[in-house]
Amino acid sequence: MSGFLRILDPLVFSSVWAAFVAATLMLAAASILGATLPAAAPLLGFAGTLVVYNVDRLRDLERDREPSPARSAFVGRHRAALIALCTGAALAAAACALVLPPAVLAPCAAALGLGLAHRRLKRSLPLKTLYVGASWLAVVVGIPLVLGPERPQAACGVALVLGAAIAANLVGSAARETPRVDPRRRRLRAGLAVGLCLAGAVVALLEPHAALRPLAAVPALEALALVPLAARRAPADSERHGLVFLDGALSLGALIALASAAAPIAGAR
């Protein structure tokens, strides 16, 4: 398994993986809200995430070496290529923002501001969970919301479900950073993350808005990805497990939600 995960290093360690998560979550949120997104909207989420994450990786390379040694080694080896990628992504994000309605600038500015402050704030897990989760919601829910959804009343439910899954991802990522230093803390954090996922799935399934139910796939799959971290022994390659599976579960859940939400519409036609 470790050898297979290493094949994905260029995608995962360049933050392309995380950027894909942002784009798919935005599309899933838009489908639940009934918002029609121009292509520039998910592209903005993708490119903006690339910029914010790579700027953080490049600026904080030395402090990241202990919790994420493999990723830090990749960033150190490919610094010039990542700077070029970040520059191109910034230009693409700016171009997308120019063709979208001005209202999208507000959630983007909120996410960018929180992202640039990440280096100073990220050592506190509760604070990190709050502000990173808020910045993700500003992009993946805020942008579809300002683009005129048909079901704005579902926005609170969408934010709660995705917020729970994103918070669980952040707590789970913290759990995988020190698997052998403090196994008890790792299991407690992973257990908390699973609990957040279950809460998000319950909200999706019990919310009065039936359109929200497909979104339960996001926290449900995130919970499954967290199970190995909550077990007695951490995965042998916990760093890649966290980056590949914890983030990938969000995207896979979003794609399932997107397909499930689109199916009734296709059937009605």
**pLDDT tens-digit profile of 76-104?**
999 999 999 999 999 999 999 999 999 99
Band (4; pLDDT cuts 50, 70, 90):
low
Q: What is the pLDDT of residue 119?
A: 62
Distances (CA, A) of 54 to 14, 76, 179: 7, 12, 25
Q: Which of 43, 11, 15, 38 is nearest to 146 (CA)?
A: 38
Determine if residue 231 is left, alpha or beta; phi over 0 gives left, psi from -120 to 50 gives alpha, anything else beta: beta
Tokens of 88: 């191109």
C-beta separation of 247 from 18 below 8 A: yes
Quote the pLDDT of residue 57: 87
pLDDT of 265: 45
- Greater confidence, 119 or 224? 224
- Tokens read off for 154: 């579902």
pTM of the model: 0.90
Which range among 24-28, 109-113, 261-265 has the greatest average pLDDT? 24-28
49 in Cβ contact with 114 (< 8 Å): no
Task: Please give the pLDDT value at position 180.
Answer: 54
Sign of CA dihedral 250, 251, 256, 257: positive
User: pLDDT-based confidence at 268, cuts 50/70/90?
Assistant: very low
How many whole angstroms separate alpha carbon 212 and alpha carbon 152? 12
- Give the model's confidence band at 168: pLDDT under 50 very low, under 70 low, under 90 confident, else very high: very high
CA nearest neighbour of 242 among 232, 234, 254: 234
Whole-angstrom distance, CA of residue 135 vs CA of residue 106: 11
Residue 26 has pLDDT above 80, yes or no: yes
- pLDDT, position 237: 62
Shortest CA distance to 203 belongs to which of 192, 194, 195, 212? 212
Residue 269 clears pLDDT 50, i.e. is over it: no
pLDDT in tens, 40-68: 999 999 999 999 999 888 887 887 787 78
Count of all residues that appear for the chain in the document: 269
Q: Residue 192: pLDDT above 70?
A: yes
- Over residues 143-163, the pLDDT tens digits come to 999 998 888 889 999 999 999
Q: What is the dihedral angle through the alpha carbons of 95, 109, 242, 15, rounded to the nearest 10 degrees?
A: 30
Q: Which residues of 107-140 are buried (b: 16+ CB within 10 A; e: fewer)?
A: bbebbbebbeebeeebeeeeebbbbbbbbbbbbb
Place of tokens 């280096």: 119
SS percent in the chain: helix, strand, coil, step 5: 85, 0, 15
